[in-house]
Amino acid sequence: MKTLEQLKSGQLAGAKELTLTVRLTDFPKEVYTLADSLERLDMTDNELSSLPDDFHCLKNLKILFLSNNNFTVLPSVLAKCPKLSMIGFRNNQINTVEENALPLTTRWLILTDNALERLPDSMGDLTLLQKCMLSGNQLTHLPTSMKHCENLELLRIAVNAFTELPKMLLELPKLSWLAYGGNPFCAKHPACDTPLKELAWNDLVLGKVLGEGASGLISKALYKGKEVAVKVFKGDITSDGLPEEEMDINISMGHHDHLVDVLARVTGHPEGKDVLMLELIPSSFFNLGLPPTLQTCSRDVYPEDFTLTLNQAIKILQGMADAAVHMHERGIMHGDFYAHNIMIDKEAKNILGDFGGASYYEPKEVKVRNALERLEVRAFGCLVEEMLLLSQNDRSDHQRREKLETLRDDCLNEKNEERPLFYTIHQRMGISKY
């Protein structure tokens, strides 16, 4: 309430950012006093169901968050906002997006957890769209016009009503991160019922919280004197999909040196939640990258002073190529193949985690299998590009650097069918010796 009072009194004149979370039922016109300066407006967790027709007078607005409100129709006035590029309407009751309701400047669209059965054909006009979050709706298809969304890099369509994978997605030149689990066409991974050791919640001595993601809480624990990690799944839909899908993928993954091992299923959680006991990653490990920012949209960021040697960069890429071969041999696409999901230590030992966006595909369907694998190869290409940048000061081996640059270009090829498969990348990286 204090912020609203400050706004009304004029204390916020010239503000570029404004957050109003006070159970508003009507849009406060006082926001317009910031029309010349406001760039980011966050009105999450209110009870709004509409925006005024003159909302577009916020001429410098770039970022709008209206998640956890009561919208049933996406406000068409958004299309008139000249600079709006990031739009978030997660967890409303939106069932309608009218034609031309979105601005052509849209780069990042979040419509997770709504009631959409269809999207307008005008989606194809969003040629700047890079990131599109549509999980948790009732979509049965995507408009064919979306084949024109040639800058789309990350797409989430998990937990909808698709009876088949939209094939035109496999032809998008830049799509690199895709999650589609939890749809009617998705089979469960055949290995998800693999017998797994079970133990009781009460057999664990729970320690400190190590981290919290969209799908669950990870804590340190002791089991029979051994330090382990325990992940308690929240059970709610995330932007990537359903936690139970992630759990199935984790169980189906099998052992690999560059993946987090699942040790056991834990039963008897006091709130009945799904729980897995995982290998504990040593405290000497840290995240290779940081998640994309509002500015970078689909690409990870790194601390300004963070660098790698060429040897370290290659070691990381070798480990990730090895892990990718292992996953795709099992019909598993990670879907979130990013540096921020890779843990490394000072010697560049590396482990890939976070399977919240992972999806299963039938390895026998060769054409689709190869296209999906090559989609993830582009994500690997982005990682190669970033590792080259982080090691750019190391000019110790020009020949190896040139090989990496060629590999990067091959992986980033905008024609899906011309990218190498991970097995070929595996061979080119040499794995044991480049």
pLDDT at 2: 61
Q: Which residue has the higher pLDDT, 307 or 432?
A: 307
Alpha carbon distance 261, 273 (integer Å): 20
Alpha carbon distance 248, 217 (integer Å): 17
The correct CATH number of 198-278 out of 3.40.309.10, 3.40.220.10, 3.40.50.410, 3.30.200.20 is: 3.30.200.20
Percent helix, strand and coil across the chain, each to the nearest 5: 30, 20, 55
- Among 43, 89, 40, which residue's Cα sits nearest to residue 60? 40
Structure tokens, 106: 């849209």
pLDDT at 377: 99
- At CA 291, angle to CA 248 and CA 253, rounded to 5? 20
SS3 63: strand
CATH topology for 286-430 is Transferase(Phosphotransferase); domain 1 (1.10.510)
pTM: 0.94
Is residue 433's pLDDT more than 70? Answer: no
User: Per-domain residue ranges for the chain?
Assistant: 1-179, 198-278, 286-430
Average confidence (pLDDT) over 246-252: 87
Q: What is the CATH number of domain 1-179?
A: 3.80.10.10
SS3 65: strand
Q: Which residue has the higher pLDDT, 10 or 318?
A: 318
Only one residue has tokens 């999806």, namely 359
Per-residue pLDDT reduced to its tens digit, 8-30:
888 999 999 999 999 999 999 99
Judge contact between 417 and 374, C-beta under 8 A.
Answer: yes
Per-residue pLDDT reduced to its tens digit, 173-209:
999 999 999 999 998 777 666 778 899 999 999 999 9
Q: What is the mean pLDDT of the chain?
A: 94
247: confidence class by pLDDT, cuts 50, 70, 90: confident
